[in-house]
Amino acid sequence: MVSNSRIGVTWPLAVVILSLPSTALEAQYRDLRNTAHIGVGYVASIPITPLGFSALGVTPKILGGTGLYVDFKLTTSSPSSNANYDPNLTIQDAEFVYGDRLFDDKSDWKSFNLALVYAVSGEFLLYGGAGYSKEERYREYWDDEANRGDDQGFYWISDPEGSGDRVNVLGGAIFRLARMVMFQIGGQTEPRSANVGVIFAFPI
């Protein structure tokens, strides 16, 4: 006959033993080098393009954990939407015809990027790649007589010579914060800025 005291000791031990396989499976379930993952998230290039979307895919079938990362980022406001934007004036008009003073400049950006991703460990990824960025540049001038622009004489105009298509280079790291939450940090060249983001990654 088995005593109650022995049953009291054996039962918790059995529970621990039975839980070990599931713990091992959970670790493999989360391991980026042993389990394929896909993810979607939010990314921003601080402080220029605060709105962006990202996607990620990685599989252990390629070099033990390789995949692709893509993102799309853009600015959320543009001088062309300001009430004091004048599409009929040129830089030559502002500087040589009227002699107005340059006060500020700003660019509207859109970018699409593609990068290779490699799982350095089960919890940590590195990425690097390139992409396309489009810059629309604007200048703000000041008319001291307030004949142009708003009631204080400020107005925005387009800067075609400062605008154009750019080649963007980016890179950084992605690491796990929680079971399905990953944090992204890195940088890029066009526009020159820091990338930060959050990716929700799911094993498949």
Mean pLDDT of 57-73: 95
Give residue 103's identity as a one-letter amino acid code.
F
Q: How confident is the model at residue 40 (pLDDT cuts 50, 70, 90)?
A: very high
Q: What is the pLDDT of residue 29?
A: 59
Q: Report d(CA 170, CA 52) in Å as an integer.
A: 14
**CB-based contacts of 106, cutoff 8 Å, min separation 6:** 79, 137, 138, 140
Q: Report d(CA 173, CA 179) in Å as an integer.
A: 17
Question: Who has greater pLDDT, 28 or 103?
Answer: 103
Q: Report d(CA 105, CA 134) in Å as an integer.
A: 16
Does 159 have pLDDT greater than 80?
yes
Cβ-contact 185, 172 below 8 angstroms: yes
Question: Which tokens sit at 52?
Answer: 């962006």
Does 189 have pLDDT greater than 70?
yes
DSSP state of 96: I
Degrees, nearest 5: CA angle 180-132-74: 60
Does 1 have pLDDT greater than 90?
no
Does 24 have pLDDT greater than 60?
no
Average pLDDT score over the chain: 89
Q: What is the pLDDT of residue 30?
A: 74
Mean pLDDT of 61-81: 95
Mean pLDDT of 156-185: 96
Q: Report d(CA 120, CA 135) in Å as an integer.
A: 34
Q: How confident is the model at residue 55 (pLDDT cuts 50, 70, 90)?
A: very high
Q: What is the pLDDT of residue 12?
A: 56
Q: Report d(CA 29, CA 26) in Å as an integer.
A: 5
Does 15 have pLDDT greater than 80?
no
Q: What is the pLDDT of residue 10?
A: 55
Q: What is the pLDDT of residue 179?
A: 85
HSE, side-chain direction, 13 A CA sphere, residue 144: 4
Beta bridge partners of 60: none
Architecture of domain 31-203: Beta Barrel (2.40)
**pTM to 2 decimals?**
0.81
